[in-house]
Amino acid sequence: MEIKHNLDQIRATLAPDVRLIAVSKTKPAEAVREAYEAGQRAFGENKVQELMRKIDQLPADIEWHFIGNLQRNKVKYLDERIHLIHSVDRISLAQEIDRQARKKGYIQNILLEVNIGREENKGGALPEDLPELTAAVRELPGLHVKGLMTVIPETEDEAEQRAWFQAMQELFRKEKAKEGPRYEMEILSMGMSGDYQTAMACGSTMVRIGSAIFGARDYSANTSLSAGDPAEV
Ligand SMILES: *Cc1c(COP(=O)(O)O)cnc(C)c1O
């Protein structure tokens, strides 16, 4: 009930042509199903094991997005049911995704993640490292680059949010001029529960919204989702 209500409210505020990814991380499969029954088809997860488990439990026409920090040794557990990996931020990771995808016989859609706020301990390539990353990725036949993704620094200051999003919009525009085979700039993935309206005003084409749909996440709870894979907590 509540999930449907939240989804309806968010949909009413989405700019045309902006896609909504419902971020279901830490939430049980039943919550995903509730959103699915309210018509939502694209979901985002940030842990490999949790994602693969939900894929097996839930309807096959769901479009799954991997949005979290991805360790190279976990890539082998992914498969062609992953519609888009948002968080490719280094060459070694891109190479492993390419290798696994080709081995399994598909091309993986990816976004390049940018750490626009230059925060330590945060995923994403620094803007100045993007040329080297894109040059390497373009050579990998198992990958199809669809655009860029970012998580901006946490702030409630809307002017500050806008400055980060605009910096991303500028990068996106520059990369768009370099489009080529398997290197397209269609998707600019930015904006979360607290800032997606600002992100849309700055050219976001894909927003990733979790808590505003599913409610606050409880990381302290010993849910079945994190149990069994201590390495992923
Ligand atoms: C958790 C998460 C989101 C959603 O965050 P909310 O604030 O709950 O909307 C979006 N993007 C990424 C990469 C996340 O990890």
Cβ of 210 closer than 6 Å to ligand 1, yes or no, is: yes
Question: Which positions ≥6 away from 122 have C-beta within 8 Å?
Answer: 115, 151
Instruction: Check: CB of residue 168 under 8 Å from CB of residue 148.
Output: yes
| pTM: predicted TM-score of the whole model, two decimal places | 0.94
How far is the C-alpha of 72 from the C-alpha of 74, rounded, in Å?
5
Average pLDDT over residues 126-135: 97
Question: What's the CA angle centered on 199, arms 233 and 174, to 5 degrees?
Answer: 100
Cβ of 115 closer than 6 Å to ligand 1, yes or no, is: no
Cβ of 192 closer than 6 Å to ligand 1, yes or no, is: yes
DSSP-derived letter for residue 220 is S
What Cα–Cα distance (Å) separates residue 13 from each residue in 36, 81, 183? Answer: 19, 29, 30
- The CA-to-CA distance between both ends of the chain, in Å, stands at 29
With a cut of 60, say whether residue 224 has pLDDT above it.
no
Average pLDDT score, the chain: 94
Cβ of 151 closer than 6 Å to ligand 1, yes or no, is: yes
CA of 42 to the centre of ligand 1 (A): 14
**What φ, ψ does residue 223 adopt, rounded to 5°?**
-80, 160
List, for residues 62-115, the tens digit of each pLDDT value.
999 999 999 999 999 999 999 999 999 999 999 999 999 999 999 999 999 999
Cβ of 193 closer than 6 Å to ligand 1, yes or no, is: yes
User: From the CA atom positions of the chain, what is the Rg in Å?
Assistant: 17
Q: Which domains does the chain have, with CATH numbers?
A: 2-221 (3.20.20.10)
